[in-house]
Amino acid sequence: LSARKSELLAHLSADGAAPLAFPQQSLWFLQQLYPQDTSASEQFAIRIDGPLDAALLAQAWQSLLARHAILRTTFRERDGEVWQQAAPPSPNAAALPQIDAGTAREDLLQIAAAALREPFDLLRGSLLKPRLCRIADRQHVLLVTAHHIIADGLSVPVIQEELAELYAAFRSGRP
């Protein structure tokens, strides 16, 4: 692992930008051809039953973003090459917008469908868009839409588990 890490670090530019992996190159190319296409959008939902402290969930979300640079990454072209650059962690960049989703399942499905139709801007980000949907006083759904260039089916369980652990830690006063 340390040899692989050294190899990756050797490819970083002076400003910390890194070249794209081959699958990312393919996604970048397709996004440049079809900027309004949303077929590379990934979406998952976390159902939250019981009392919710939205401020602590936002804090957990910010901590998750701070832990994983790829979740803060944008992409740019320089000298004919595409580079990825992670923004520094920022408490202000991790807003967790809250939406009253109504009580009907169809309302939540409409919100999810609308989120999937929103194109991503790989140059400006954010490539990870959360929405905290309130269904009832003690029922919420955290709906997360991400561009496939930064998240895939393998990363979703990691995001879900770490977010749950961070939220539980903050709720109980643990670091």
**pLDDT tens, 26-85?**
999 999 999 999 999 999 999 999 999 999 999 999 999 999 999 999 999 988 899 999
How far apart are the C-alpha atoms of 161 and 165, rounded to whole Å? 6
For the chain, what is the mean pLDDT? 88
How far apart are the C-alpha atoms of 53 and 113, rounded to whole Å? 26
Model pTM score? 0.86
How far apart are the C-alpha atoms of 132 and 146, rounded to whole Å? 15
